[in-house]
Amino acid sequence: MSERIGFSGMCLAYFAIILDGSVLNVAVPAIRDGLGSSMAGAQWVLNGYTLTLAALLLTAGALGDRFGLRRTLLAGVAVFTLASAACALAPTTGVLVGARVVQGVGAAALLPATLALVPHLFAEADARARATVFWVATGAISMAVGPLVGGVLIDAVGWRAIFVLNLPVGVVATLLVRAGVPETPRHTHPVDRAGLVTAAATLALLTGGLIDAGSAGWAAPATLGLLGAAVVAGAAYVITARHAAHPMLPPSFFALRVRAAAVASAGLMGFLFYGALFVMSLYFQQMRGWTPGASGVALLPMTVGSTIGPLVLYRPLALRYGHRALLLGGFACCTAGIATLAGAGTRAPYAVLATGLLLIGVSSTMVFSALTSLLIGNVPTAQSGLASGVQNTLRQSGALIAVAVLGSLLNTSSPASRLPAASAALVAVAVIAVTLAAGNLRTADAPLEPAPAPAAGRS
């Protein structure tokens, strides 16, 4: 019973940060008008959070394994909740952006821990698999309801209410985690400080470069400078990792083929889902002339459809066919959805578009459920935090790359003329994903490491 209480707290914390991100997408105009900011300044309310989260996910996952996942989770919830209060009270755009950066620090700390604690809470493989799928469903539901919740709160109360909402959620999540989550063992090996710094710098510079590319273009000096610096920082990380006694991300982590395939799948699915969402949002508004509200309703088959996979379909299908087969099937279904949209054109009946959106939405969480189950089932429990950090980093990076690449393709006075190129990019990535999943299907299963019995102590 206690593990269910604790798991509820973990999912509530995860729900809060995903909801926060999806709500903010509809709040930028209201924040701009409320604070008298420019659109560029208001956009950094999103970008400051995204950059910090992406830069620190890997580091936070590794530190959770080192210092205790429960401790990391509770610290992350506390920072995220207090920063949300600061966001709600922010008098200027600069203060709001600063508070959002701190929010990103808290989110980075708690996000890997919410998944990494699953094998520590649930010793039985079947219970662990159910919990993993429910974790995926939590993210899908929060993303689906985010724009609706945000729109209602902004219209009824104002944009500050979306941050006030995080306060009671943070308090309840903290109480549930304290009541039901035991602390995980702390590992005594030294912290790879050089690896932590260079990895965070690499991810921050890469994220900054991708954000800038999406707005200023790939040839902009700032974009080239940030991406070039990311390459240098990445090279520094590789060099330090080779000489570290206990590297933050040891090369052996990717030695198991199924583990490497699961991580790569996270990046590919992040690109496909968020890329398709980005393209279709522009499609409805700029090419068909629909209002933002109407476009949001039109996207419901994709966003709501993403909840069907983990809640209804995944468990019975996984029991019959296995996670690897569903990884392949999910990517194949996603490819069919993207091909449907790519061939639709600008005058296609909405029913055709809704079919493609539904296929992508359902398949996306089928893929995320499969790759998450494969990853968590094939890492030592001592590395569960690191595994979660790697998975979420790749997913976030895939989404950022999609928006940067597809945004640069569609950033023209005639986006309809560039729609085939954007569609072709999505189809190409989908084919790569199917090929990867098909190769992984032929890989022999690795024995799963038993999960440790829940510890008795709390801290």
pLDDT of residue 188: 66
| Predicted TM-score of the model (pTM) | 0.85
Tens digit of each residue's pLDDT (9 = 90 or more) over 274-305: 899 888 888 888 888 887 678 878 888 998 88
413 shares a domain with 284: yes
Instruction: Output the domain CATH number for residue 358.
Output: 1.20.1250.20
286 shares a domain with 384: yes
Mean pLDDT calculated for residue range 149-156: 81
* Total domains present in the chain: 3
Residue 227 lies in a domain: yes
Q: Which residue has the higher pLDDT, 402 or 415?
A: 402
171 shares a domain with 38: yes
* pLDDT class of 444 with cuts at 50, 70, 90: low
Residue 456 lies in a domain: no
Domain stops at, among 182, 212, 229: 182
402 shares a domain with 336: yes
Tens digit of each residue's pLDDT (9 = 90 or more) over 41-87: 777 888 888 889 888 988 898 888 888 899 999 999 999 999 999 99
Residue 452 lies in a domain: no
148 shares a domain with 21: yes
425 shares a domain with 276: yes
6 shares a domain with 141: yes
205 shares a domain with 141: no
Residue 384 lies in a domain: yes
Q: Print the domain residue range for 218.
A: 193-247
420 shares a domain with 321: yes
Residue 188 lies in a domain: no
202 shares a domain with 98: no
Q: What percent of the chain has pLDDT over 70?
A: 94
146 shares a domain with 86: yes
338 shares a domain with 438: yes
Q: Give pairs for 96-102: CB < 8 Å, separation 24+.
A: 96/31, 96/35, 96/45, 97/41, 97/44, 97/45, 97/48, 98/48, 100/45, 100/46, 100/48, 100/49, 100/52, 101/48, 101/49, 101/51, 101/52
pLDDT of residue 450: 40
Q: What percent of the chain has pLDDT over 90?
A: 41
Of 129-138, 157-166, 250-259, which range is least confident? 250-259
Residue 454 lies in a domain: no
Residue 47 lies in a domain: yes
Tens digit of each residue's pLDDT (9 = 90 or more) over 234-261: 999 888 888 887 888 887 788 888 889 9
Residue 269 lies in a domain: yes
